[in-house]
Structure 1
Amino acid sequence: MPRLFTALEIPPAVRDALAALRGGLPGARWVEPESYHVTLRFLGDIDDAMARDVAAELDGIDRPAFDLALDGLDAFGGRKPRAVFAAVAPNPALVELHAEHERLMRRIGLPAESRKFSPHVTLARLRDATSRQVADYLALRGGFRAGPFRVERFVLMSSRASVGGGPYVVEADYPLASPATAGAED
């Protein structure tokens, strides 16, 4: 059974800029550029019936497209760093889209997400990298910025069991409306 999550895709130009950051960090397992994404809501391993319910709920989302930017690099894990990521610049439209995903998934019976929403693009998963090595890497590349880029859809993705996540497959896509048509009656 695949693991499902909702996400925003990263456009090719931004993906290329992120890929240029690869290397220079011992113990890093770099995420493949085609796997870069911003997770909106992790759903986990769910059965086919729940997956159909998820798809139906997501299909009802009617939100406008918006612009998104990446603003700096950071690491998760503190003294035992476990991942390096590109942070997403604060964005109310993104927070609202995430909150709607959370509400809808709880309505159909999925448990609440246990982690605070911290939008980011994972660049590398770390194994045996010291906090000093990560700090040095971030000192050289931490000022990274990209975007803004237009977010015109979100996707339902699956991942197969593997080391470090991926490969990811888009199972369904859900367009966001142009600002003039968002919320308009059919």
Structure 2
Amino acid sequence: MPRASTRGKGDSNTGAGTDQPRLFIGISPDAPTQHFLEGLVIHARQLLSSGRERPRWTSPSNRHLTLAFLGETPPELIPAIERGLMQMAQGARPCSGRIVSLGPFPKPRARLLAAELVSNPDLDRLHSGCRELMRDLGMKPESAAFRPHFTLGRNRHGLGPFPPLQLDYVARLDNLVLYRSEMAPGGSQYTPLFEALLGGPEENPART
């Protein structure tokens, strides 16, 4: 019987000073993918070392692939969201996603620098499952097209000319995480409230 892995679950019923915590569902990168993303950041730092304002780089602990943005969420819905994610994870196996480019996102000269993935049926099913879970709970999913990516940095003035870098890296995707987003002096901080491993821990022997 697949089991879900949890972390920080005791924090999921509070909103750090607000009655409506801002939540989203995402995928946390595993250690090899984190290492690859860190290499991209080092490369980007060299290209963006000068300019009007240097980007604010996303800390490794904040890196994630967003599946669905829930927005301000009544705390009483959080247990149902966790149950829904657990059920989704038990019915899905670990999958992969191909990172194909590094550049401004979602368009040239945008404020975000991201490593973008090509979507695939496995990722689409996870995204659709999150949207269906929201509908079941009376929440309205975003209408924006799903473009999976890992945000690596941002510049409020836009990134300016940045030669897109073509990539070919296959990332292992093996979890669903419920995150809380909170504003902080250095930018938004994302706290994992609940994590479910796809297929259960027995199919994830090397997460670290």
Please give the range of the TM-score, normalised by the shorter of the 2 chains. 0.7 to 0.9
Q: Is residue 144 from structure 1 mapped to residue 167 from structure 2 by the alignment?
A: yes
Q: TM-score, normalised by structure 1?
A: 0.81
Structure-1 separation of matches of 2:118 and 2:81:
28
Asked whether the equivalents of residues 78 and 131 of structure 1 are also in contact (C-alpha less than 8 Å), the reply is: no
Deviation at 1:92, TM superposition (A): 0.9
Residue 89 of structure 1, CA deviation = 2.4
Question: Which of these residues, 190, 193, 196, is aligned with residue 171 of structure 1?
Answer: 193
Mind listing any 5+ residue stretches in structure 2 that lack a counterpart? 1-14, 16-20, 204-208
Displaced runs of 4 or more, over 6 A:
none
Cα deviation code 1:43-63 (max 9, x no counterpart) = 112121122221222222122
Q: Which moved more, 1:68-77 or 1:120-129?
A: 68-77
Distance change in 2, residues 1:65/1:73 (3 Å):
same
Name the Cα RMSD after superposition.
Answer: 2.1
Q: C-alpha separation between the residues in 1 aligned to 2:183 and 2:117?
A: 26
Write out per-residue CA displacement over residues 3-32 of structure 1, whole angstroms, 9 at most, x where no aligned residue: 211111111222122122321324311111
Residues 119 and 147 of structure 2 are in contact (CA less than 8 Å); yes or no, is this contact kept in structure 1? no
SS at match of 2:40: coil
Summarize the Cα distance change of 1:118–1:79 in structure 2 as closer, same or farther, 3 Å threshold.
closer
Q: 1:118 aligns with which of 137, 144, 147?
A: 147
Counterpart residue number, 2:32:
13
Q: 2:87, 2:152 → 1: CA distance?
A: 31
Question: What amino acid is the match of 2:188?
Answer: G
1:38 and 2:60 matched: no
Return the offset for 1:79: 5.8
Instruction: Single out whichever of 110-119 and 148-157 deviates more from structure 2.
Output: 148-157
Structure 1 distance, partners of 2:192, 2:129, is: 20
Residue of 96, 99, 115 corresponding to 1:67: 96
User: Partners in 2 of 1:131 and 1:169 — Cα distance?
Assistant: 30
Supply the AA of the counterpart residue of 2:100: D
Corresponding residue for 1:57? 84
* Paired AA for residue 182 in structure 2: R
Residues matched between the structures, number: 171
Q: Which of 5, 23, 28 is the matching residue for 1:4?
A: 23
> Are residues 149 and 76 of structure 1, via their aligned partners in 2, closer, same or farther at CA, if it must alter by over 3 Å?
closer
The letter for the 1-side match of 2:24 is F
Change (3 A) 1:52 1:122: same
